[in-house]
Amino acid sequence: MNSQIQPCIQVQNLTKKFRFWSDRPTSIKTVLVDSLRGKFKFGKKEQFTALEDVSFDIYPGEFVGIMGRNGAGKSTLLKLITGIYTPTSGSIQVNQAIAPLIELGAGFDGDLSGYENIFLNAAILGLGKNATEAALPEILDFSELADKIYMPVKNYSSGMLVRLGFSIAVNLPSPIVLVDEVLAVGDVGFQEKCIKKIRSLHSQGRTLVLITHSPIAVRQVCQRCIVIDHRKKVFDGAVEEGIQVYLKAVQS
Amino acid sequence: MKISDILTRLLGVDMFCLGKKFLVYNLVSRNLKTKYRRSVFGLFWTLLAPIAVTCIYYFVFKVILQIQVPHYSVFILSGVLPWTFFAQTLGEGMESIVGNWGLVSKVPIPIQVFPFVNAITNLSTLCLSIPVLLGAAWISGVPFGGAFLYLPFFIFALFFMTYCLSLSLAILFVYFRDFRHMLTIGLQLLFYGTPVLYDPIMIPQKYKWILDVNPIAYLFTGMHKILARGESPSPHEVLGVAFWSLVLFALSVLFQNKFGNEIVEKI
How much is the pLDDT for A3?
55
How much is the pLDDT for A24?
65
- What does the angle CA B33 – CA B16 – CA B222 come to, to the nearest 5 degrees? 85
Please spell the DSSP secondary structure of A95-144, one letter per residue.
-S-EEEESSTTTT--TTSBHHHHHHHHHHHTT--HHHHHHHHHHHHHHHT
pLDDT digits (tens, 9 = 90+) for A139-148: 999 888 888 8
Q: Are A76 and A82 in contact (CB under 8 A)?
A: no
Of residues B257 and A41, more confidence is placed in: B257
Cα A71 to Cα A94: distance, rounded to the nearest angstrom: 24
How much is the pLDDT for A40?
65
Confidence class of residue B103 from pLDDT cuts 50, 70 and 90?
confident
Least confident among A37-41, B70-74, B220-224, B252-256: A37-41
Of residues A25 and B261, more confidence is placed in: B261
Q: Is the pLDDT of residue B134 over 70?
A: yes
How much is the pLDDT for A26?
67
Contact of A27 with chain B, judged by CB distance below 8 Å, is answered with: yes
Reduce the DSSP state of residue A162 to 3 states and report it: helix
Reduce the DSSP state of residue A87 to 3 states and report it: coil
Confidence class of residue B123 from pLDDT cuts 50, 70 and 90?
very high
> Is the whole-model pTM more than 0.80?
yes
Contacts of A24 (CB under 8 A, 6+ apart): A42, A43
Half-sphere exposure of A31 (CA within 13 A, CB side): 11
How much is the pLDDT for A202?
83
Closest CA to B22 of A125, A140, A134: A125
Q: Is the pLDDT of residue A181 over 90?
A: no
**Option in B103, B177, B264 nearest A106 (CB):** B103
Contact of B30 with chain A, judged by CB distance below 8 Å, is answered with: yes
Please spell the DSSP secondary structure of A165-207, one letter per residue.
HHHHHHHS--SEEEEES----SSHHHHHHHHHHHHHHHHTT-E
Residues B16, B18, B24, B29, CA torsion sign: positive
Least confident among A33-47, A99-113, B36-50: A33-47
For range A73-102, the mean pLDDT: 85
How long, in residues, is chain B? 267
Question: Helices then strands (H, E): number in chain B?
Answer: 12, 0
* CA A230 to chain centroid: 20
Q: Is the pLDDT of residue B213 over 70?
A: yes
Q: Answer yes or no: do A86 and B27 touch at CB < 8 A.
A: no
Least confident among A29-33, A92-96, B55-59, B102-106: A29-33
How much is the pLDDT for B183?
94
Partners of B185 on chain A (C-beta within 8 Å) are none
For range A13-42, the mean pLDDT: 74
How much is the pLDDT for B267?
54
DSSP conformational letter for B20: G
* CA B175 to chain centroid: 23
Cα A173 to Cα B241: distance, rounded to the nearest angstrom: 45
Cα B227 to Cα B220: distance, rounded to the nearest angstrom: 10
**Option in A84, A127, A128 nearest B264 (CB):** A84
Confidence class of residue B176 from pLDDT cuts 50, 70 and 90?
confident
**Mean pLDDT of the residues in chain B:** 89
Q: Which of A112-121, A162-171, B158-167 has the highest mean pLDDT?
A: B158-167
> What is the crossing angle of helices A158-171 and A188-203, to 10°?
10
Q: Answer yes or no: do B22 and A132 touch at CB < 8 A.
A: yes
For range B113-131, the mean pLDDT: 93
Q: Answer yes or no: do A84 and B178 touch at CB < 8 A.
A: no
Q: Is the pLDDT of residue A43 over 80?
A: no
